[in-house]
Structure 1
């Protein structure tokens, strides 16, 4: 055995060189930093036994005493998705169609999360009265500053709306808006394999972004986890219809699954009561208030937005916010483009009726989900034949659900896109010749 100056070096050598050759230098450095941690103590390993710890972990998971335990407000539910089939007609439409059951939908109640957040001592950092921020410039210009959600026009309008609504006799409580900021993004759990999660996160817009952005503030609330379609769903489909599903059916069912999960969250009676009547609770500063939930933003990348907006991926009108044509995207930044952006998407009764008419053709008449009869109804505006859960709830509240999806550069400008743009910019600098590329390198070196 090689000589070592101390036992710790021997441990590191054995870890790095012993056993299977799967350890990297990075792994060894990680172990070194762990052994050097001030909280590390040699004697704490005396009682360590791998088999015992593994059994303890399994027992922890089996008893339900974990992150998804009921003590934390988690519930496990299932949703049902009607299965379409080309050529199969049904008298009662999708109500009579065979259903695919998706189990393992872990979720929490939105109202319970909000109430818990309002009662937490961190409430003292919340802003409960929205306001305008303005900047008086040196040349006497008065410019409105948009920085925090609670200084946005949407929250100001919501605050005015809830405080101008009629009050019940004896209701003298302060009314506050609780704007919700939602995020969701499918996440790979490793650099290899297919292990992944699709979480939905919830933040309260009453908090400053400077507090909300700190992991130590624990401002992020996990709302739900979107499962995948069951592994054997294709066999289930083929067993019912005697024919495997098409790619269009697969895409359709993925849309249906996400909307079914959001319908599960939004149809909750406690949530609807909290949205319309408010949550009366003693806040973290000791004052009892009535907090009314309002949806403010939903951030995600483009593929996620189009699923949530129920429009077609890169369709004739690919934008989730306006009716710009795909062929006119190269006009971005021109006056014509800016004029087109004023024609925003709006949830209407006509849109809902078109989607329902398309679903009747699919389930009653047996039309394929991507057939000409369906695209002739929905293709003009790039809609898809999926009922939108946000529309189902927010339309009657006079809220246009398309407005929930703001431009989010962090998600829209994906890593692959940024790499492609950076490579193109580097090539442009090289084309200039001379010392241009060296100047750019020197500038980046400063940072």
Structure 2
């Protein structure tokens, strides 16, 4: 099987990529890229000279690529697109009383367990990753006792207690690997995309509290991971309600309830079975230093604006986070 199909070899593939993807207007930098291609030892002018470029372009033009699907939804990037369904209650005076399903497509999200796997197996990201927390103290000259220094999550009382609780808990049967708390720190806020118009995104980000805040705040370190892009109920949801209430809009109370339920349903997708298993039983990962460790995911902080905090304080999400014996700090 030719891995470069429909191109005959690597040189032809690189040349085709240069022609189509390096811009319509060629620059000095583009010229240097061309020199690198034809100057490579594997480049064969004879093969390129006898390549049927029109036939290759025709094959590429008839492929099954869906141009409407974002390229970051590729499987190896870990992104998924899910549908979100909520139950909308209609009282006995509605046209058709009872609970009705309402579904919204296009919830883009990434696996939280995949994010931690990528973080601890990447040599650049795992540098200065604190697998074990510690207490930082300062001894001033004018005092006869130490003063606790507050500043990093991995030196905080909450992290130290979570770590000690994990070490004191029974190990998984047949497992004696080092156990590590992976401290998740979430941020989210709706973002306006343009000065004019209503286009906006509602991204969710995650950092690991095992890394220093001085490193997390530097964009060049690439320590922030996108987790999801929250959806909101579309404008046509109002028409859905009006239709079921005999042409009369039921009011904002029901809409507020549905918005809250919709937000929680998206979080239920994020806190999937893999996440719950990693929280309760840990996930074994071979770190870039060659050591097997068992990571336990815990949510320590969630920074959000007031509407989100109000939604998070409602019981459904807490029930999902604390199902059975789960209890995640920060909520």
Q: Which residue of 2 aligns with 1:397?
A: 325
Q: Structure 1: how far apart are the matches of 2:67 and 2:147?
A: 58
1:299 shift after superposition: 0.5
> Among residues 244, 251, 259, which one is paired with 1:246 in the alignment?
251
Q: Structure 2: how far apart are the matches of 1:279 and 1:255?
A: 31
Q: Which residue of 2 aligns with 1:99?
A: 101
SS of residue in 2 equivalent to 1:224: strand
- CA spacing shift, 1:168–1:44, aligned 2, 3 Å: closer
1:178 shift after superposition: 0.3
1:65 shift after superposition: 5.9
Cα offsets for 1:362-393 (capped at 9, x unmatched):
xxxxxxxxxxxxxxxxxxxxxxxxx4223332
Q: Which residue of 2 aligns with 1:157?
A: 161
- CA spacing shift, 1:155–1:88, aligned 2, 3 Å: farther
1:60 and 1:66 in contact (8 A); partners too: no
Q: Structure 2: how far apart are the matches of 1:159 and 1:304?
A: 29
Q: Structure 1: how far apart are the matches of 2:27 and 2:301?
A: 47
Q: Structure 1: how far apart are the matches of 2:68 and 2:259?
A: 32
Q: Which residue of 1 aligns with 2:67?
A: 62
For structure 2, the 5+ residue unaligned runs are 1-25, 32-60
1:70 shift after superposition: 2.4
Q: Report the TM-score when normalising by structure 1.
A: 0.56
1:86 shift after superposition: 4.7
Q: Structure 1: how far apart are the matches of 2:279 and 2:320?
A: 14
Cα offsets for 1:237-281 (capped at 9, x unmatched):
222232323122222221111111111222x22111111111101
Q: Map of 1:231-380 to 2, 5 A cutoff?
A: 231-242=235-246, 243-266=248-271, 268-310=272-314
User: How many pairs does the alignment contain?
Assistant: 271
Q: Which residue of 2 aligns with 1:131?
A: 134
Q: CA RMSD in A?
A: 2.6
1:64 shift after superposition: 3.8
For structure 1, the 5+ residue unaligned runs are 1-39, 46-55, 311-386, 406-447
